[in-house]
């Protein structure tokens, strides 16, 4: 059967082509690239571009283009199979006259072709960069090849995640996690383990080349790249060819996972919602197994009090006490990861470790945990109710839309704090780096330490010294909490606006990336905008404000962290109000 005659391909590709949301995403993507190129273009004209740094314009443009492609890939592929499972139509595909190969090829080709077309649409805009001079056609084709392979490989990864998961939100989060690991975190072994394990520097260099950003950096600045590499790069084996091989391997492995799920689908089993135990021995045995000796999700729940938000209590019970194994394992993983990263940072720099290095690692890790977890937690709060049919029952309750939105937001915030507190080793490291003389040098376990502290605490001067010493820790903690609220409210806003959880999750992560990454634009476009405009845009970025309060970064933008606090509070209010208004409209709409 020809591809265009495949009914799966015709339905999927036709739906994507006619979808208003997808067309808006593609138009916004192209408009943003065009605006970026206009902003980067020198005001003196084409003839001065080469002298003004044409290669720099080229590298900035393609870095932004690559970032947008990686952000959009899950939106086109991660919901391909899970949407069928959520609508209970996946099993129906196998009772049609279509073979499993036709089902697989239709799903695969529709998702990948749609994603590759998006990259193809940006090619004319990218070709304009060749007018800057200093960029050969071969170099342009190599970088375009990196873009196409990135879209292809991570698109197939999205299909594999979609075939393994039951829910779209889980597949999208898994896809974004894979992108974060292979495209962003692949430099960690080279940065943290090179001095500890010198014989494995070649292996760490290969792992670093997994990232498409590393391949683009090598193609544009080969001399500068060799200065950052601990291994001599010669011959045909270079970061570009290694990345091509890894992208091909990732595509093949993901395709095999996707193919196995289509040709040999696993039987869907549902766990029981509850079980009544009559055998005392069986009950005691269950109580002593993991993790029921810590928390029992099947025990009788107390009635919700009249003064509590029922939505908050219901969400909290279902998310935390409904799946304790996931919570405990994730908390343990973050706990171990935070300890390992802070230890490796100290060991990598040895006796020359600087407080700024540890602070930088702490900021990136803490905000990375929040940005990775928070949007996925809240992006299905409204869409899951719509897809499961429980939103109609929610409308029949006397609860107001504001009560529903605030209850869901509070529950996810409490849920996110469990994961955030598991990385408290970072906070300990930050406090340890502060030079202080307000606490005694003796052991905290001794009585003399407490007696001396209690005696000093009676004076106002001691409290003033404590604040001046640990003020940055308090402000940094407040920035972390506000960042979590912003990212959670972003996911809630996307969930209220979208109809499907996959679209809402993708939109939430795109907005989160815009807040954390794209708001660094004033640092790139220093000569293109005024300092007031740059301060306004950079005030959206929690990373920039955290760097300023910890390492006194960005002295050209004084008071940036204060502006960022006000901006994040405004964003939380804005997203919450918009989500409440949208929920109110959904309550009044009869469907």
pLDDT in tens, 393-438: 888 888 889 999 999 998 888 888 877 776 666 666 666 655 566 7
> Residue 471 CB: number of other CB atoms within 10 A?
12
446 domain residue, yes or no: no
Question: In the numeric block, which tokens belong to residue 299?
Answer: 């025990």
Helix (H, G, I), strand (E, B) or coil at 63: helix
Report the first-to-last Cα separation within the chain, whole angstroms: 39
Q: Are residues 255 and 375 in the same domain?
A: no
Q: Are residues 343 and 251 in the same domain?
A: no
Structural domain ending residue among the three candidates 218, 239, 263: 263
65 domain residue, yes or no: yes
pTM for the complete prediction? Answer: 0.77
Q: Is residue 234 within a helix (H) or strand (E), and if so which, with residue range?
A: none
List b or e across 417-439, with b for residues whose CB sees 16 or more CB atoms inside 10 angstroms: eebbebbebbbebbeebeeeebe
Q: Are residues 80 and 217 in the same domain?
A: yes
301 domain residue, yes or no: no
Question: In the numeric block, which tokens belong to residue 559?
Answer: 């008071």
* Among candidate residues 214, 191, 65, 54, the one with its CA nearest the CA of residue 126: 65
What is the rounded CA–CA span in Å between residue 298 and residue 275? Answer: 8
What is the rounded CA–CA span in Å between residue 467 and residue 473? Answer: 10
Instruction: Identify the residue whose tokens are 């029921």.
Output: 292
Q: Are residues 136 and 255 in the same domain?
A: yes
Q: Are residues 126 and 11 in the same domain?
A: yes
Q: What is the dihedral of CA 135, 139, 145, 151, to 10 degrees?
A: -40
Q: Is residue 164 within a helix (H) or strand (E), and if so which, with residue range?
A: helix 137-164
* Among candidate residues 161, 68, 156, the one with its CA nearest the CA of residue 113: 156
Q: Are residues 377 and 482 in the same domain?
A: yes
12 domain residue, yes or no: yes
Q: Are residues 215 and 362 in the same domain?
A: no
- Sequential DSSP letters for 9-44: HHHHHHHHHH-HHHHHHHHHHHHHHHHHHHHHS-TT
Can you say whether the dihedral through the CA atoms of 584, 585, 589, 591 is positive or negative? negative
211 domain residue, yes or no: yes
- The whole domain housing 258 covers 3-263
What is the rounded CA–CA span in Å between residue 385 and residue 301? Answer: 22
Instruction: Report the pLDDT value the prediction gives residue 51, as an integer from 0 to 100.
Output: 43
Backbone phi, then psi, for 585, in 5-degree steps?
-65, -40
Q: Are residues 220 and 96 in the same domain?
A: yes
For the chain, how many structural domains are there in total? 2
Distant-in-sequence, close-in-space partners of 190: CB < 8 Å, separation ≥ 6: 201, 204, 205, 207, 208, 230
Instruction: Report the pLDDT value the prediction gives residue 52, as an integer from 0 to 100.
Output: 44
Q: Are residues 195 and 342 in the same domain?
A: no
Q: Are residues 109 and 186 in the same domain?
A: yes
Q: Is residue 459 within a helix (H) or strand (E), and if so which, with residue range?
A: none
What is the rounded CA–CA span in Å between residue 127 and residue 1? Answer: 36
Instruction: Report the pLDDT value the prediction gives residue 361, as an integer from 0 to 100.
Output: 67
Instruction: Report the pLDDT value the prediction gives residue 551, as an integer from 0 to 100.
Output: 73
Q: Are residues 192 and 335 in the same domain?
A: no
User: 31 exposed, middle or buried (CB, 10 Å; 0-12, 13-18, 19+)?
Assistant: exposed
β strands within 148-254, DSSP E: none
Structural domain ending residue among the three candidates 240, 263, 286: 263
* Among candidate residues 526, 536, 502, the one with its CA nearest the CA of residue 158: 502
3-state secondary structure 261-282: HHHCCCCCCCCCCCCCCCCHHH
274 domain residue, yes or no: no
3-state secondary structure 342-354: HHHHHHHHHHHCC
What is the rounded CA–CA span in Å between residue 30 and residue 351? Answer: 49
CA distances (Å), origin 130, targets 46, 117, 124, 135: 11, 21, 10, 6
Instruction: Report the pLDDT value the prediction gives residue 530, as an integer from 0 to 100.
Output: 78
- 416 in Cβ contact with 512 (< 8 Å): no
Can you say whether the dihedral through the CA atoms of 475, 479, 485, 489 is positive or negative? positive
Question: In the numeric block, which tokens belong to residue 1?
Answer: 């059967």
Taking each helix axis from N to C end, the angle separating 137-164 and 212-220, rounded to the nearest 10 degrees, works out to: 180
373 domain residue, yes or no: yes
Task: Give me the tens of pLDDT residue by residue for the chain, a chain 591 residues long.
Answer: 566 677 888 888 887 777 777 778 788 888 888 887 777 776 655 544 444 456 677 777 788 888 888 888 887 788 888 888 877 787 777 777 777 778 778 888 888 888 888 888 888 877 777 666 667 778 888 888 998 899 889 988 988 888 888 877 788 888 888 888 888 888 878 877 777 777 888 888 888 889 998 888 888 888 888 877 777 776 678 888 989 999 999 999 998 888 887 777 665 544 444 555 566 677 666 666 655 555 555 555 566 676 778 888 888 777 656 666 667 777 777 777 777 776 776 666 555 556 666 666 677 777 877 888 888 888 888 888 887 778 888 888 888 899 999 999 988 888 888 777 766 666 666 666 555 667 777 666 777 777 887 888 888 887 887 777 677 777 878 888 899 999 999 999 999 988 777 778 878 888 888 888 888 878 777 767 778 888 888 889 888 888 888 777 788 888 888 999 999 999 999 999 999 999 999 888 755
Radius of gyration in angstroms for the set of CA atoms belonging to the chain, rounded to a whole number = 26
Q: Are residues 351 and 251 in the same domain?
A: no
Which ranges of 221-307 does DSSP label H, i.e. alpha helix? 222-228, 239-263, 280-287
What is the rounded CA–CA span in Å between residue 140 and residue 334? Answer: 40
563 domain residue, yes or no: yes
User: 388 exposed, middle or buried (CB, 10 Å; 0-12, 13-18, 19+)?
Assistant: exposed
Region at 133 (left for phi over 0; alpha for psi -120 to 50; beta for the rest) = left
Structural domain ending residue among the three candidates 239, 263, 287: 263
């Amino acid at each position: 059967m020809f591809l265009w005659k495949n009914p799966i391909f015709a339905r999927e590709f036709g739906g994507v082509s006619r979808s208003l949301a997808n067309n808006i995403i593609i138009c916004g993507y192209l408009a943003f690239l065009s605006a970026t190129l206009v902003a980067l273009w020198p005001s003196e004209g084409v003839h001065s571009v080469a002298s003004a740094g044409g290669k720099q314009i080229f590298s900035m443009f393609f870095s932004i283009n690559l970032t947008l492609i990686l952000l959009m890939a899950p939106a086109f592929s991660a919901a391909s199979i899970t949407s069928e499972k959520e609508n209970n139509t996946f099993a129906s595909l196998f009772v049609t006259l279509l073979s499993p190969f036709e089902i697989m090829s239709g799903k695969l080709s529709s998702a990948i072709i749609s994603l590759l077309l998006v990259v193809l649409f940006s090619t004319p805009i990218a070709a304009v960069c060749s007018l800057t001079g200093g960029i050969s056609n071969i170099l342009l084709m190599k970088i375009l090849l990196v873009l196409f392979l990135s879209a292809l490989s991570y698109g197939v990864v999205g299909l594999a995640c979609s075939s393994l998961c039951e829910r779209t939100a889980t597949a999208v989060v898994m896809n974004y996690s894979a992108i974060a690991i292979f495209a962003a975190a692949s430099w960690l072994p080279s940065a943290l383990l090179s001095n500890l394990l010198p014989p494995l520097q070649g292996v760490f260099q290969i792992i670093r080349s997994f990232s498409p950003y590393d391949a683009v950096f090598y193609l544009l600045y080969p001399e500068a790249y060799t200065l950052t590499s601990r291994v001599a790069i010669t011959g045909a084996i270079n970061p570009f060819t290694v990345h091509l091989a890894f992208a091909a391997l990732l595509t093949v492995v993901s395709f095999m996972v996707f193919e196995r799920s289509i040709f040999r689908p696993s039987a869907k089993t549902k766990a029981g919602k509850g079980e009544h135990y009559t055998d005392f021995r069986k009950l005691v045995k269950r109580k002593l197994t993991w993790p029921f000796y810590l928390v029992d999700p099947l025990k009788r729940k107390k009635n919700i009090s009249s003064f509590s938000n029922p939505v908050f209590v219901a969400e909290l019970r279902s998310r935390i006490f409904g799946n304790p194994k996931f919570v405990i394992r994730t908390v343990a993983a973050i706990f171990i990861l935070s300890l390992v990263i802070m230890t490796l940072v100290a060991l990598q720099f040895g006796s020359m470790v600087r407080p700024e290095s540890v602070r930088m690692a702490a900021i990136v890790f803490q905000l990375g945990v929040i940005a990775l977890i928070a949007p996925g937690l809240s992006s299905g709060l409204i869409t899951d109710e719509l897809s499961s049919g429980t939103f109609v029952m929610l409308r029949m309750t006397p609860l107001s839309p504001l009560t529903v939105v605030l209850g869901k937001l509070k529950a996810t915030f409490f849920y996110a704090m469990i994961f955030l507190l598991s990385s408290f080793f970072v906070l300990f490291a930050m406090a340890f780096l502060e030079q202080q003389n307000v606490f005694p040098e003796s052991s905290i376990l001794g009585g003399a330490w407490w007696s001396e502290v209690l005696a000093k605490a009676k004076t106002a001067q001691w409290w003033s010294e404590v604040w001046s010493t640990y003020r940055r820790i308090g402000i940094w903690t407040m920035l972390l909490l506000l960042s979590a609220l912003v990212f959670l409210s972003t996911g809630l806003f996307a969930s209220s606006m979208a109809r499907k959880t996959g679209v809402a999750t993708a939109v939430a992560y795109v907005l989160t990336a815009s807040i954390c990454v794209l708001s660094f634009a004033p640092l790139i476009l220093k000569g293109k905008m005024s300092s007031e405009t740059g301060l306004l845009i950079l005030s959206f970025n929690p990373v920039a404000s955290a760097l300023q309060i910890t390492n006194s970064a960005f002295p050209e933008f004084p008071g940036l962290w204060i502006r960022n606090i006000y901006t994040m509070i405004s964003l939380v209010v804005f997203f919450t109000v918009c989500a409440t208004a949208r929920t109110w409209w959904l309550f009044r709409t009869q469907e």
